[in-house]
Amino acid sequence: MAQGLVLLLLGGAVLRISAFSTTYLNYVKPGFRPFLIAAGAVVFALGVITLVQEWRKPHVPEAERARRAEHAGHAGHPDLHADPHTDGRPGEHAGHGHDHARGPRVAWLMCLPVFAIFLIAPPALGSYAAAREDASPPPPRPEVVEGYAPLVGDKPIAMPIGEFVGRAWGDPKRSLTGKQVRLTGFVVRSKKKDTWYVARMQLNCCAADAIALKVAVRGAPAPPENTWVEVTGVWIPPRSSKLPNGTVPPEMTAINVAKVPRPAEPYE
Amino acid sequence: MSDRAMLDWPADADDSPVPPSSWGRKAPTAPVLPWVFVALVGVLIVGRYLIAPFITSPALQTWSTIFVAICVQALPFLVFGVLLSAAITAFVPASFWTRALPRRPYAAVPVAGAAGAVLPGCECASVPVASGLMARGVTPAAALAFLLASPAINPVVLVSTAVAFPGRPEMVLARFAASLVVAVLAGWLWLRFGRAEWLRVPRRTGERGWRAFHEAAQHDLLHAGGFLVVGGLAAATLNVVVPRSWLTAVADVPWLSVLVLALLAVVLSICSEADAFVAASLTSFSPTAKLAFLVVGPMVDLKLIALQAGTFGRSFAARFVPLTFVLAVLASALTGWMLL
């Protein structure tokens, strides 16, 4: 009974964030959606099947089912199949066995992510994560830099922060020089007084492996931390080429800073 | 199922509650739980609008984002592994494995390790599959070699490694070789020195077909899912608490950097299909240290330790995890010295 409900909760929560909203984009890459929907549906269906089976035979008590599972499954290991949570408390599991019908107690922990999803509603990683993140992405490889479209026209050119960083660090032709570009990201404070960062997190798989992409902005007052902004500005080429790429974020002079709503896909 | 339950009524019923709960027409919890469930769903939906907006601590939010991300990201792989394991239990006859694998255990270990190359999943999928293989009579050591090799040497992981380290095919080769060597060595060592009582081999009923499939899938999912959450909690906490700036301080000491990245791989618990990108981003470290990160990560990490302890028992994990870790660090140091 209880195990069916736990599965129902977990499957429902996963479907809620993947099939019926775009919340899943806060945690994983967009390509994960079909897999999440499939996994949520399987978990939900397992929960439904479990409940239906329980309801069809309400007169079979759980203790009896447990006994059956115990004897069929663990006959040869009387003292090795104790539920991990009762380990070290021999009095409790002596002769009792690991209760398959009610499910392992550790299964209740699966409610924790569900509670977190609904009660904390974890937002996309923001300035707190970006500020404490020192690792920077590796300098782009030559093929990537060659693949960037040429920057033409006098209007500001919108580009991902990753592309800006890649051009600033890896482009031998210095294609950014003198061009107005527009970057979208959130605000991260800097230790230096006249500078702040416009940043975006880059995911490879999920938020646990996020890397911060940061561009230092000069010449404009810092908006409140974590606001999403669109910064229009011009790249400041580094004064010395001694520092290896990747140690200091590239810089830009801001011409215009505008507040924008948070994009649906918060990561790059 | 009820008729079987009556048939299998055990003779040694000395620990049964008196009177047995079968005397009542219904289990006592039955009418209460649905209402608890309804109330819980209500609390969650209301809480989404009443509680969540007031939780604004950035550290807590970052922690919960990473925790939920690890769980959500691992769930599809876990479900895939659980379904595959249940299918092995329910539909593949045990005789298939005796024909597919060499009869002698010492020969079966490398074959099973190399067979890991065909399961396109990450480490969360391989634990239930290995448990299903053991339940079907495959030598535990061979199933363990499969468990270690499959998340590191399958095509998806090797392609993502090649993408993350462009122009360095030797990194892919080194990862493949070192991981396979560790998996086979660990399998052989377990075969030679391991004792049966350390390992809790999941026994399954002799049943076959859809009912067995459902029971195996449900049992594995509840177990592995719970332990996945344990691992996710630990990994998210350490991810937020340990500052990455500690890392750069040790990057220049060769032997220490290998050890530190190996430990980082344990702590971060990144899916093996994504860890190459993270390794590539650790630019200040030597290639050998990055290789250690790539070899250790799919074999030993916090969520994997929790999953293994839950599936095979604590006495197993307490011996197998250190063994694998030491082997993985040594193998990557040697391979890195020879190839990179």
State pLDDT tens for residues A185-237.
999 988 888 899 999 998 877 888 788 889 999 999 999 999 999 999 999 98
Q: What is the ipTM of this complex?
A: 0.81
Q: For residue B19, is the peptide bond before it cis, meaning its omega torsion is within 30 degrees of 0? A: yes
| Distance from the A251 Cα atom to the nearest Cα atom in chain B, whole angstroms | 20
**pTM score of the predicted model:** 0.78
Most A CBs within 10 Å, among B84, B122, B222, to test the A interface? B222
Helix (H) or strand (E) holding B273: none
| Residue A151 in tokens | 């920057």
The parts of chain A modelled with pLDDT lower than 50 are 72-101
| Distance from the B56 Cα atom to the nearest Cα atom in chain A, whole angstroms | 9
CA distance linking residue A115 with residue A133, whole number of Å: 27
Contacts of A138 (CB under 8 A, 6+ apart): A246, B280, B281, B283
Q: Does B248 touch chain A (CB under 8 A)?
A: yes
pLDDT tens by residue, chain B, 340 residues: 444 444 444 444 445 555 555 555 545 555 677 788 888 888 888 888 888 888 888 889 999 998 999 889 888 888 888 888 888 878 888 788 878 888 888 999 999 999 888 877 677 788 888 988 888 888 899 999 999 998 889 888 888 888 778 778 899 999 999 999 999 999 999 999 988 888 887 766 666 788 888 888 888 888 888 888 888 888 888 778 877 667 767 777 888 889 988 998 898 887 787 788 778 777 778 899 999 999 999 999 888 899 899 889 899 999 999 999 999 999 999 999 998 8
pLDDT value for B220? 83
Q: For A118, which of B47, B73, B205 is closest by C-beta distance? A: B47
Chain-chain contact of A121 with B37 (C-beta, under 8 angstroms): no
Most B CBs within 10 Å, among A25, A114, A119, to test the B interface? A119
Q: Does B42 touch chain A (CB under 8 A)?
A: no
Chain-chain contact of A209 with B27 (C-beta, under 8 angstroms): no
Question: DSSP label at A192?
Answer: S
Q: Does A80 touch chain B (CB under 8 A)?
A: yes
Chain-chain contact of A28 with B73 (C-beta, under 8 angstroms): yes
Closest residue in A to B272 (Cα) is A205
Q: Does B232 touch chain A (CB under 8 A)?
A: yes
Residues of chain A with CATH 2.40.50.140: 129-259
Contacts of A17 (CB under 8 A, 6+ apart): A23, A24, A27, A36, A117, B72
Q: Quote the percentage of chain A above a pLDDT of 70.
A: 76
Report the Cα A74 to chain-centroid distance in Å. 39
pLDDT value for B4? 44
pLDDT value for B188? 94
At residue A47, φ and ψ (nearest 5 deg) are -60, -45
Write out chain A residues lying below 8 Å of B156, CB-based.
none
Cβ neighbours, 10 Å, residue B218: 24
In B, residues 164-203, which contact A (CB 8 Å cutoff)? 166-167, 197, 200, 202-203
A18 SS3 class: helix
Chain-chain contact of B270 with A205 (C-beta, under 8 angstroms): yes
Give Dmax (Cα) for chain B: 72
Chain-chain contact of B270 with A107 (C-beta, under 8 angstroms): no
pLDDT value for A24? 92
Q: Does B65 touch chain A (CB under 8 A)?
A: yes
Q: Does B283 touch chain A (CB under 8 A)?
A: yes
Could you tell me how many CB contacts below 8 A there are between chain A and chain B?
267
Cβ neighbours, 10 Å, residue B21: 15
CA distance linking residue A197 with residue A189, whole number of Å: 6
| Distance from the B37 Cα atom to the nearest Cα atom in chain A, whole angstroms | 7
pLDDT value for B6? 45
What CATH number does the domain located at A129-259 have? 2.40.50.140
Q: For B22, which of A38, A61, A121 is closest by C-beta distance? A: A61
- From the list A105, A23, A54, A99, the residue with the least C-alpha distance to B34 is A54
Write out chain B residues lying below 8 Å of A112, CB-based.
229, 233
Please measure the distance between the N-terminal and C-terminal CA atoms of chain B and give it in whole angstroms: 59
Q: Does B71 touch chain A (CB under 8 A)?
A: yes
| Distance from the B87 Cα atom to the nearest Cα atom in chain A, whole angstroms | 14
Q: For A113, which of B5, B68, B217 is closest by C-beta distance? A: B68
Q: For A58, which of B30, B76, B236 is closest by C-beta distance? A: B30
Write out chain A residues lying below 8 Å of B73, CB-based.
27-28, 32, 205-206, 208
| Distance from the A168 Cα atom to the nearest Cα atom in chain B, whole angstroms | 17
Helix (H) or strand (E) holding A111: helix A111-115
